[in-house]
Structure 1
């Protein structure tokens, strides 16, 4: 039987009880270090408190907590009881919470709710609880995690298989990106997103020391880097750009890293090249996957330089298939829908058919478009829901954004569709100008696009904003601009 994650922590607590497992920065800017022994006892006490409070094994727990020891402990305690955590961002708006829970109303309503006060009470001297130890029972689902799915609107998705299988797979991917059990692992992404949480939990269970700043700003990051000297980290392209924009932070982090893995969103070419130049091709890795974990690709910096723009080749037994609208496989170089298959695909294929698009031969899709080259490297070109149908002609929002971003007066841009009584849909640009006091007008932007893209792809209208709405992981939330 595979070792459960709580049992893995128990083994670490017994064999190396004084080894740091998790360090977090509190609200006062002070660092609190939890050893494997301390973390295990806190998790065990928390599970015992939940059991005494009426939580039945195999049920659901609801976690809406900020990054920190409390969130990590709540997840581990839930698993120890064989429960599936339902994880939502603590800062979620009412609209987002409604969207997240619309398919899980009963599950969310009946879940045992972990709050900061409940977690504090669980460790109190008067807490009524029995001594509890893991008994080898894990939930069949790792957790419910927020995802944009195929629509861009947030929803909670059940991540299969169970915690041990999922985190063992994550550790294999991390090891391929030069992570090791003894790593000092910097964790700066929000744990309400798949990659940061998966790699944080995989790191703790794998024996690394996870270091978690309270927030993503130069002061917190500098404090973490100078005190703990991280050797490995997972970042998003947005976070990569923020780090390199601060020279002292950039200089402090890079020398100690044996490897870094970036995820989540397409990485701007200039940002990627600067990280490769600074760290070398064998220390910069990129992976493409999804919250649904239907498949994974990976590449290092040297591979990326040889195949610019790629998100890698299938990792281990994963497979990629590019198909047209009829499900027919397309040859290298032709753009179609990206379908993937992994050892877990069968689990998803037998699940609710509305959650994922099912392709031929049990390959699954999360709605991305792309192509492969003759060497099997995958390239992404857009999303199905990012296609605008202008008078019956397809327009890729990513293609239009790429052209607009070459204008020197544009800092960021999102292209969305707007309804039109004549054309059905038209192209609209939401622009962050370099100078908000003197932005370029729409005619200037349209003229800039002439000759670069077809006339029907050029934005008909535009509005100018100071910043684009982003999720907690740094992704632009397109659905808020539709």
Structure 2
């Protein structure tokens, strides 16, 4: 029996004809493609540096040549338009080349962050139906290529493996050799309204969801951020230490500089002193990270005393910006401006502050609608819009939203209402001027360094430990990362698990390091409501106090 490939999501599954017409008419969707944008700058400014990472530097012309060669190699290996190609690479120039190769071919990129391990990667590969993967060898003590080799034996659909900066085996492709090949006839440009990216997020549930973006939805956010928020120009150098395998890093680190023909400098391992050194050396001008990155950079700058005067704009996501942090940033970066952004993988840019917004706005809100075309509304428990100043669930309507969740119509239907709005699961308040302040969340997540971690997923792994009878995972505050995960455990009678033993057990289950609990609290029983639900608010208090 042959399993039929499901029809790809399209804009007509997501929006009515009038919305699609309006998006095009207003210029929010402009068509085109990533390859066409690359061609524009490779023709106009072939010798301008496009990407550097401290080891490799490539011009626009070199990126076009290398991505064309890699696309041809993938086509020869049997990757067709519409096929999914997974890529797990650090913030290296090879990621940019790989993304543009997949995009030119008309295949769908499935980026995977390097912190993910076998259990998470296997789910993404199986769920997406990836037919090829691009990865590296050993990075930070972990052999990614070997993990993919193991998974290829278990997943027959994964036919092609490309390895960058690492040894290859007989049936694999070496990244550099593939890029050096001649560019074949790659066919017509891909349809900008068909799937372009599937970015997996596991922020709210135990099974990661694949967020399907088209070129038009991704380009809308990138182009709007570049022009209206960053006010980007060709001489800019975007500093990107956030993973470009996820939404913020990919949009700001690749698409924003491509919009104006600028440059990006990538940092593969965040270390604040090294980050400051790169900003000074490469003359970086703009960036976007989670808020804790900024706190660590400012702490390091007290002793480093680098020349950071080139940095004029830093977009901050994942946590509110304290006023003292904004003031300190302005001083340390010689007049540079710290701006808040609220977004998600499903909607990319939701709200942000804009050039000209005063300090009290930047420190007291998460901004207004990020771009023309975005509508932010708040909904109460009854499904009705709430009054100004009242708390409600944040909903997004606009040209930057996902088409839906890959192969998951149930979750798609639950997230998108009859008015076409995407329900984020986050809570907030809007003031009379349309500025949002995120106030909480409906979702059970921990936001560690700007990355969402599903409490339910971690609970599932911890609960498998033989010494654990019951477990609840909750966040506790951390001055550098915002939040960390605390496991509150009811032990099996006669057992007394330790944090060291528990995390060792979890590493053996192949989950990423960032999901490991960093605090363990043992209790005799979990506090419950009358209906049998765990009272996590009490456990959060316990985690803070312990």
1:430 aligns to what? none
Relative contact order, CA 8 A, sep 6+: which one is greater? 2
Residue of 11, 15, 18 corresponding to 2:47: 18
1:203 aligns to what? 256
Given that residues 179 and 259 in structure 1 are in contact (C-alpha distance below 8 angstroms), is that contact kept between their aligned partners in structure 2?
no
Structure 1: runs of 5 or more not aligned: 27-31, 389-396, 420-438, 443-454, 467-482
In structure 2, C-alpha distance between the alignment counterparts of 1:456 and 1:225, rounded to whole Å? 41
Given that residues 318 and 342 in structure 1 are in contact (C-alpha distance below 8 angstroms), is that contact kept between their aligned partners in structure 2?
yes
Residue of 338, 344, 352 corresponding to 2:409: 352
Q: How many residues align?
A: 412
Post-superposition CA distance 1:437-457 (Å, at most 9, x none): xx9x99xxxxxxxxxxxx995
Residues 362, 418 of structure 1: CA spacing in aligned structure 2 closer, same or farther, 3 A cutoff? farther
In structure 1, C-alpha distance between the alignment counterparts of 2:70 and 2:39, rounded to whole Å? 14
| Alpha-carbon distance, 1:11 to partner | 2.2
In structure 2, C-alpha distance between the alignment counterparts of 1:287 and 1:412, rounded to whole Å? 18
Given that residues 220 and 400 in structure 2 are in contact (C-alpha distance below 8 angstroms), is that contact kept between their aligned partners in structure 1?
no
2:219 aligns to what? 167
User: What are the equivalent positions in structure 2 for 1:44-55 lying under 5 Å apart?
Assistant: 44-55=68-79
| Alpha-carbon distance, 1:100 to partner | 4.0
Residue of 231, 236, 244 corresponding to 1:178: 231
Residue of 310, 332, 335 corresponding to 1:256: 310
User: What are the equivalent positions in structure 2 for 1:365-404 lying under 5 Å apart?
Assistant: 365-386=423-444
In structure 2, C-alpha distance between the alignment counterparts of 1:150 and 1:89, rounded to whole Å? 17
| Alpha-carbon distance, 1:171 to partner | 2.4
| Alpha-carbon distance, 1:232 to partner | 1.2
In structure 2, C-alpha distance between the alignment counterparts of 1:86 and 1:346, rounded to whole Å? 14
| Alpha-carbon distance, 1:209 to partner | 1.0
Matched, 1:312 2:367: yes
In structure 2, C-alpha distance between the alignment counterparts of 1:283 and 1:337, rounded to whole Å? 29
| Alpha-carbon distance, 1:41 to partner | 0.6
Give the match's secondary structure for 1:115. strand
2:200 aligns to what? 146
Post-superposition CA distance 1:172-225 (Å, at most 9, x none): 213323322331111111112110111122134221111113321245324422
Give the match's secondary structure for 1:211. strand
User: What are the equivalent positions in structure 2 for 1:88-103 lying under 5 Å apart?
Assistant: 88-101=112-125, 103=127
Residue of 72, 75, 92 corresponding to 1:68: 92
CA RMSD for the aligned pairs?
A: 3.9
1:191 aligns to what? 244
Structure 2: runs of 5 or more not aligned: 1-29, 133-154, 446-454, 456-472, 491-518, 523-534
TM-score (norm. length: structure 1) = 0.74
In structure 2, C-alpha distance between the alignment counterparts of 1:55 and 1:167, rounded to whole Å? 24
Given that residues 212 and 402 in structure 2 are in contact (C-alpha distance below 8 angstroms), is that contact kept between their aligned partners in structure 1?
no
Residue of 370, 386, 391 corresponding to 1:335: 391
Post-superposition CA distance 1:274-314 (Å, at most 9, x none): 22455588832222111011761111484451474311111
Given that residues 222 and 251 in structure 2 are in contact (C-alpha distance below 8 angstroms), is that contact kept between their aligned partners in structure 1?
yes
Give the match's secondary structure for 2:373. coil
| Alpha-carbon distance, 1:374 to partner | 1.8
In structure 2, C-alpha distance between the alignment counterparts of 1:302 and 1:5, rounded to whole Å? 32
Post-superposition CA distance 1:251-286 (Å, at most 9, x none): 436411222212234445543442245558883222
Given that residues 181 and 203 in structure 1 are in contact (C-alpha distance below 8 angstroms), is that contact kept between their aligned partners in structure 2?
no
More deviation in 191-200 or 360-369? 360-369
User: What are the equivalent positions in structure 2 for 1:222-241 lying under 5 Å apart?
Assistant: 222-241=276-295
TM-score (norm. length: structure 2) = 0.66
| Alpha-carbon distance, 1:348 to partner | 3.9
| Alpha-carbon distance, 1:463 to partner | 5.8
| Alpha-carbon distance, 1:330 to partner | 0.7
Given that residues 17 and 36 in structure 1 are in contact (C-alpha distance below 8 angstroms), is that contact kept between their aligned partners in structure 2?
yes
Matched, 1:155 2:213: no
| Alpha-carbon distance, 1:328 to partner | 0.9
In structure 2, C-alpha distance between the alignment counterparts of 1:14 and 1:41, rounded to whole Å? 12
